[in-house]
Homo-oligomer: A and B are copies of this chain.
Amino acid sequence: MKLIDGKVVAENLKAKIKVQVDELINNDIHPHLAAILVGDDGASQTYVTAKEKACAEVGILSTLYKFNDDITEEELLNTIEFINNDPEVHGMIVQLPLPAHISVDKVMAAISPEKDVDGFHAVNVGRMALGLPSYLPATPNGVIELLKYYKIETEGKHCVVLGRSSIVGLPVSIMMGQKKYPGNATVTLCHSKTKNLKEITLLADILIVAIGHPEFLKADMVKAGAVVIDVGIHRIPDAHKKSGFRLVGDVAFLEVSEKCSYITPVPGGVGPMTIVSLLTNTLKSAKSEVF
C-alpha cells in the first residue's frame, strides 16, 4: 500500500503556480483574489485565513471583505457587484455559511462567472461537463491532481464514486469519465438510494468516497489492490487525544489501507489539495484562460 501524500502534491503544485504568478507579475498582471466573510464563525474564519495564507505563499494578492452578520442582502449583493466590476480582481469567493436572512442562491448567482473561482456557477458547471475550459470545483480537481501526480492509470478502470453532491460527487464522477487523463474511466455514481452497495464497491478499481459518514467504507467493501480516495473529514471523540477528538475520513483507514494499492490519509490527503485548486483557478482567470 502506498500513501497518497496530499501535502507533498500541494506543495509541488504551489511551486509551479508561483513560477507562473511571477511571470504574470513581470508582465504587470498581478493575480488577485477577493474573499467575502460574513459574521464571526470560527471555522469560516480559519478557512479564509488559510486561503489568504496560501495566496501569499504563491504571490497572489488577496483582499478580505469582512462584514458583521447584520449586513443586509442588498449590501452584500452591492459588494459582489463592486468586485465583479473591479478590473484588478480576478477571482472572488464568498465563504459559506451565510446568515439565515441572506439567500445563498441569490448571492452565488450574483458572482460573475468570469470571477467564480470556486466553480459553483451553472456556467462553470456546464462548461466543465462539456469539457470546455472552466474553473474546476476545488475538491474534484484536487482528486484529479492527486491521481495525476501519482501517475495512477484511470483509462478503462472502473471508478465508483460514493456520494452525489453537486460540489464533489457529481462533478468528480463526470470528470473521471471524460476523454482525457485522468479520466476515460467507466464511472458508477452511488448514493443514499443505491441498493447492494457492497456488490458495486467491490467492482471498483478506483473508489472515491464522499458520502459524509465517518469511517463508512470498510475493508470488506474494497477489492484487493484498489485505489481509495477519501474526501470525508470528521471530528470524532477520542479520550486518548489531548484535544478530546481525532480526525477521520469516510474510509475506515486502518483496515482498508491493508487491502488497497493507494490510499489518501485524513488529514493530509485530499484536504490540502482544495486550496490549491482555488489558486489554480485564480491564476487561470488572471491569464484569461477560461473566458
Give A contacts to B, CB under 8 Å: 121-132, 155-156, 158, 164, 166, 170, 173-174, 177-179, 184-191, 193-195, 200
Give me the 9 closest cross-chain CB pairs, A-B, nearest first. Answer: A126-B126, A122-B126, A125-B126, A188-B188, A184-B193, A186-B194, A156-B195, A122-B127, A156-B193
A131-B166, A156-B194, A186-B191 given; 11 more Cβ-contact pairs under 8 Å: A121-B126, A122-B122, A122-B130, A125-B125, A125-B129, A129-B166, A156-B193, A156-B195, A179-B191, A186-B190, A186-B200
Closest residue on chain B to residue A120 by CB atoms:
B130
User: Quick one: copies of this chain in the complex?
Assistant: 2
Distance of A2 from chain B, by nearest CB (Å): 23
Contact residue among B125, B184, B187, B191 (Cβ-Cβ distance under 8 Å from A130): B125
Q: A193 with B186: in contact, given A123-B122, A124-B126 (CB under 8 Å)?
A: yes
| Chief secondary structure at chain A's binding surface | mixed
Once the chains are docked, how many angstroms separate the CA of A209 from the CA of B220? 32
Nearest CB to that of A200 among chain B residues? B186
Residues of B within 8 A of A195 (CB): 156, 186
A174 touches B177 (CB 8 A): no
Assess the B129–A170 pair: CB atoms within 8 A. Answer: yes
Minimum CB–CB distance for A5 against chain B, Å: 28
A191 touches B170 (CB 8 A): no
Cβ A191 vs Cβ B177 within 8 A: yes
CB distance from A140 to the nearest CB of B (A): 12
Which residues from B are CB-within-8-Å of A194?
156, 186
Question: Whole-angstrom distance between the alpha carbons of A128 and B129 in the complex?
Answer: 11
User: Once the chains are docked, how many angstroms separate the CA of A34 from the CA of B246?
Assistant: 61
Residue of B nearest to A177 (CB): B189
Q: Knowing A164-B177, A166-B131, A174-B174, say if A188 contacts B191 (CB, 8 Å).
A: no
Choose among A131, A156, A187, A188 the residue with the greatest number of B CB atoms under 10 Å from its CB.
Answer: A188
Question: A177–B194 Cα gap in the complex (Å)?
Answer: 10
Complex Cα spacing A5 to B176, Å: 35
Nearest CB of B to A87, in Å: 23
Q: Given the complex of chains A and B, what is the CA–CA distance between A122 and B170 in angstroms? A: 16
A186–B188 touching, CB < 8 Å: yes
Q: Within the assembled complex, what's the spacing in Å between the Cα atoms of A170 and B179?
A: 12
In the complex, 27 of the A-B residue pairs with CB atoms within 8 angstroms, ordered by the A residue number, are A122-B122, A122-B127, A123-B123, A124-B126, A125-B125, A125-B126, A125-B130, A126-B128, A126-B129, A131-B166, A156-B193, A156-B195, A164-B177, A170-B177, A174-B174, A177-B191, A179-B191, A179-B193, A185-B193, A186-B190, A186-B191, A186-B193, A186-B194, A186-B195, A186-B200, A187-B188, A188-B188
